[in-house]
Amino acid sequence: MAGLLTLETLGEAVEAGQIDTVLMATVDMQGRLMGKRFHAAHFVNGGWRETHCCNYLLTVDMEMYTVPGYASASWEQGYGDYTLKPDMATLRRLPWLPGTALVLCDIFDHHGDHEVPIAPRSILKRQMARAQAMGFTPMMATELEFFVFQNGYDALRDHGLRDLKPIAGYNEDYHLFQTTKEEPLMRALRNGLYGAGIAVENTKGEAEIGQAEINLRYTDALAMADAHVLVKQAAKEIAHDLGLSVTFMAKYATDRAGSSSHVHQSLAREDGAPAFHDPADPHGMSPVMKHYLAGQLAHAREVTLFLAPYINSYKRFTTGLFAPTKAVWSRDNRTAGFRICGEGSSAVRVECRIGGADLNPCLALAALLAAGLDGIENAMELEPELRGDMYRAETVREVPKTLREAADLAAGSDWLRAALGADVVDHYVHAARWEIAENDRAVTDWDLQRGFERA
């Protein structure tokens, strides 16, 4: 696809003066890109083999604070190096950054011998290998929602993130006139991503004031996770260049709907045939699909930590605003945590609607895949479908209500420890509990408004 590069074509572009900078980037715990900018000539002349970074990158929080208590790296261990090795299949132009290319890197130990088990991309690759050993290729797509503001990032920061001005004045779901006003950003985003080798299908207005959605072409899980990370990076960089800002927070305002990242999933067989489709079934769902869905339902509460990783994530789960509160399944029903799309066709698939736009795609896709594969391996029986308004459903499986609950469920899950590795579970539970502790001690605007005068 246009935009993707080989080392040879990159060298030609460098020689022609078209590219002078190469970003060597990796995905951190929060799903952000971290790395270095290389002079393209150095990259081509041997720099592409590897580079190094401080191993604290997989122990810091959103503020880049060195969080104590991790087993992988600490002050006691001296915060040494990891080795970053490029996945050259991800080498691509970044059209929205002049003269720039990017390659995503996997994180290895200091000697470069083994991938670091807690690294997000490594976690997903292990689950993909597990699926491939079973004869399947995991196919996925994430639908990313976000809000666009007229304020730029720098101006907002200077004024304490006050007076946020959404780019729209009304709900713009599917609204073509309002989204025409947003085209300087959205057109640049679509074309920039396409020029970077990411197959964008469309953008649209979402169901809130100033909210947008971007959809990418269905692909294998690792390629989708990589694309998801780049979408967020591109949206922020292009918005900043235009004097705008975007947020992928799950819930930026109490009286606004949240932003989701629905995950569409299916499995392809080795010959490319859809493993989820059975034309003889009333709904087109194969036994493999039913087992896969049964596994996701059985483990839905245990994996929610990887779909909703922050305190704020759980404020999105609000009745009547399209974020699910029940981890049940239903056909073409947006009130359920798991929705069956493409019923009766070869495109039949599972849509998990629990995740927010703040998720790390590597972790979310890995956790969902692990749950689904467990359902297949154990031939789990699919529970009956529920119909109607799931918000009103009683005595059914609920999405965890808080990060504290989700972290406890993950920490206590023997299955999750076996599937992802005890070191992985402990690492990300520790991150969640740090977030909880920091939030517990913070004095918020809500505290001030509630108690300043009346307490």
Which whole number is the average pLDDT over 418-444? 97
* Pair 139, 219: CB distance under 8 Å: yes
- pLDDT per residue as tens digits for the range 73-87: 999 999 999 999 999
pLDDT above 90 for 173: no
- Predicted confidence at residue 394, as pLDDT, reads 83
pLDDT above 80 for 213: yes
**Higher-confidence residue: 357 or 446?**
357
- Predicted confidence at residue 130, as pLDDT, reads 97
Q: Cβ-count burial of 113 within 10 angstroms (0-12 exposed, 13-18 middle, 19+ buried)?
A: exposed
Superfamily of segment(s) 127-421: Glutamine synthetase/guanido kinase, catalytic domain (3.30.590.10)
- Predicted confidence at residue 362, as pLDDT, reads 98
pLDDT above 90 for 310: yes
Q: Among the listed ranges 222-231, 346-355, 388-397, which one has the minimum average pLDDT value?
A: 388-397
Q: Among the listed ranges 94-108, 221-235, 379-393, 401-415, which one has the minimum average pLDDT value?
A: 379-393
Residue 391 confidence class, pLDDT cut points 50, 70, 90: confident
pLDDT above 90 for 127: yes
For residues 303, 309, 310 and 313, what is the CA-based torsion angle, rounded to 10 degrees? Answer: -70
Residue 320 confidence class, pLDDT cut points 50, 70, 90: confident
- Pairwise CA distance, residues 34 & 78, whole Å: 20
301 contacts: CB under 8 Å, gap ≥ 6: 327, 397, 398, 399, 400, 406, 409
- Pairwise CA distance, residues 455 & 448, whole Å: 10
CATH class of 7-116: alpha beta
Specify the pairing of strand 21-27 against strand 100-108.
parallel
For residues 240, 245, 250 and 254, what is the CA-based torsion angle, rounded to 10 degrees? Answer: 160
- pLDDT per residue as tens digits for the range 3-25: 899 999 999 999 999 999 999 99
Residue 389 confidence class, pLDDT cut points 50, 70, 90: confident
Nearest to 141 by CA among 397, 307, 361, 336: 361
Which whole number is the average pLDDT over 257-279? 95
pLDDT above 80 for 390: no
- Predicted confidence at residue 206, as pLDDT, reads 92
How many CB atoms are located within 10 Å of the residue 261 CB?
25
Mean pLDDT of the residues in the chain: 95
Give the start-to-end residue ranges of the domains of the chain: 7-116, 127-421
* Pair 292, 375: CB distance under 8 Å: yes
- Pairwise CA distance, residues 390 & 384, whole Å: 14
Which whole number is the average pLDDT over 168-179? 89
pLDDT above 80 for 1: no
Distance between alpha carbon 281 and the CA centroid of its chain, in Å? Answer: 32
- pLDDT per residue as tens digits for the range 298-308: 999 999 999 99
Which whole number is the average pLDDT over 252-268? 95
Which whole number is the average pLDDT over 236-241? 98
Specify the pairing of strand 329-331 against strand 338-341.
parallel
